């Protein structure tokens, strides 16, 4: 972002790059604050994460409050949405205004700002209002061309980094598997599997 003024390219191209960069920063800080502090409703005045918005920020910069983190997240995403308003993407891995609105809806929902959450969700719904078919639901979620998918990437042999890919961190091995590892046991998503009693509440015709 700092280098954009001196970069080559048209202003339109720079706006797209800036919009996508701001979106990624806002999205990243949203996930960080969700992971490292309690939810906004009860923690807005508590310590958040360190906000770095410039390459010239000091190394010893202090922590921001949760409120300050969300202020930056909303500001980044709103600016990104404006900059990407006319951007037409070629692939679904590219961030456009719909992706940004989807995240804004989630952020506003966490903040309890229901009117803005609904407004942003409706903005996305205009272009993604076709539900997946039964065949698509049961097909393994391997097709990013289905109408419900807003933002996605296809993991190929080229992009697959083996154990360094994010999917490795969703490993469902028992925690004891890693007890002899130098970095400790593996904490995983086993406890997040859907309970069978919950599934029994579904209607027989609900193929999801």
Instruction: Supply 104's token pair.
Output: 């804004």
Structural domain includes residue 155: no
Determine if the pTM surpasses 0.75. Answer: yes
Inside any domain, residue 44 = yes
The domain in which residue 26 lies consists of: 4-125
- Give the rounded percent of residues in the chain with a pLDDT score beyond 90: 60
Q: Is 39 inside a domain boundary?
A: yes
Considering the domain boundaries, does residue 45 fall inside one?
Answer: yes
Helix, strand and coil content of the chain, in percent to the nearest 5, comes to: 50, 0, 50
Q: Is 197 left (phi over 0), alpha (psi -120 to 50) or beta?
A: alpha
Q: Are 99 and 23 in contact (CB under 8 A)?
A: yes
At 131-186, the pLDDT tens digits run 888 888 888 777 888 888 999 887 777 776 666 666 665 555 555 555 555 555 55
Say how far apart CA 2 and CA 4 lie, in whole Å.
Answer: 6
Tens-place pLDDT, residues 79-103: 999 999 999 999 999 999 999 999 9
**Does residue 10 lie in a domain region?**
yes
């Amino acid at each position: 972002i700092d280098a954009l003024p001196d970069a080559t390219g048209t202003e339109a191209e720079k706006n797209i790059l800036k919009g996508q960069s701001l979106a990624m920063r806002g999205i990243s800080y949203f996930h960080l604050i969700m992971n490292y502090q309690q939810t906004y409703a009860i923690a807005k005045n508590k310590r958040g994460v360190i906000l770095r918005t410039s390459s010239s920020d000091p190394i010893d910069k202090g922590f921001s409050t949760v409120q300050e983190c969300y202020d930056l997240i909303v500001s980044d995403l709103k600016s990104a949405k404006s900059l990407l308003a006319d951007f037409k993407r070629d692939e679904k891995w590219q961030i456009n205004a719909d992706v940004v609105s989807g995240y804004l809806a989630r952020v506003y929902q966490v903040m309890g700002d229901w009117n803005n959450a609904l407004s942003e969700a409706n903005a996305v719904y205009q272009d993604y209002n076709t539900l997946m078919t039964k065949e698509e639901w049961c097909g393994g979620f391997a097709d990013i061309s289905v109408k419900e998918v807003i933002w996605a990437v296809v993991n190929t042999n080229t992009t697959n980094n083996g154990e360094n890919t994010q999917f490795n961190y969703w490993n469902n091995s028992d925690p004891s598997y890693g007890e002899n590892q130098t970095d400790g046991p593996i904490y995983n998503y086993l406890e997040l599997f859907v309970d069978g009693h919950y599934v029994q509440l579904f209607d027989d015709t609900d193929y999801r």
